[in-house]
Structure 1
Amino acid sequence: MQPPLTVWYNTRCPVCNAGITRQRRRLLAAMQKGIIEFRDINLEPEALARFGAGLEEVRRRLHAVDAQDRLLVGADCAIAIWRLTPGEAWLGWLLGLPVLRQVMRFAYDGFADRLYGWNRRKGHW
């Protein structure tokens, strides 16, 4: 059985890995209940091919598949994670509001692009 939210991320990126490690600690109970799962895209590079998402796309932005088998990318993925995180559900709700979601997408994408470039220059692949 697939959990309601499966998050794919790049463990080779030190920033991504640290962020997900923090979230995993906060979501331990949810992980134990099978509500959320975190997976390393480097171990399963074709995992999201059915959505047209390859290894480099996931290295650039977080991706997740929700309970309705929808692909969530970037800010939408982060919002879904926050909504499940104790003490941060309010943040997911707030940033999920229509206007703030658009701002969040813009900010996330800009940060993700710069981080991706930095990772490539540093050889974190």
Structure 2
Amino acid sequence: MNLALWIVAGLMAAVCLAGSSKMFVPKEKIAALGGTATGWVEDFSPGALKTLGAVELLAAAGLILPGALGIAPVLVPLAATGLVLLFVGALTVRLRRGERATIAGDLVYLALALFLVWGRFGPESFTG
């Protein structure tokens, strides 16, 4: 189980690290990249996109570093909980915009983040 949690944490960290590019890429360039899949950026200011990118960068670090270094490992499920909230927000934005065809990825990421929360906060996490 622990190996599966580490694999999922690594995958989610990679996704978040890639998503953190919002901090450096201009809004117009993001919108032009993926057609309808990236149309949501039009609803956000450049500052809000940079904030989302920073949150994703912190999530990537929070999913891996505390557990790997053994320093405050409780931060791993807290980071995963933050990702659950982030992906619930992403789903909300997609549904409000009528982008039902593009929510599959967000649903998968939400399920993976919930798995991390359950695995790291769950009953077995405190038994050893």
Higher strand content, 1 or 2: 1
| Structure with the largest fraction of helix | 2
Fold agreement, TM-score > 0.5: no
Structure (1 or 2) with the larger CA radius of gyration: 2
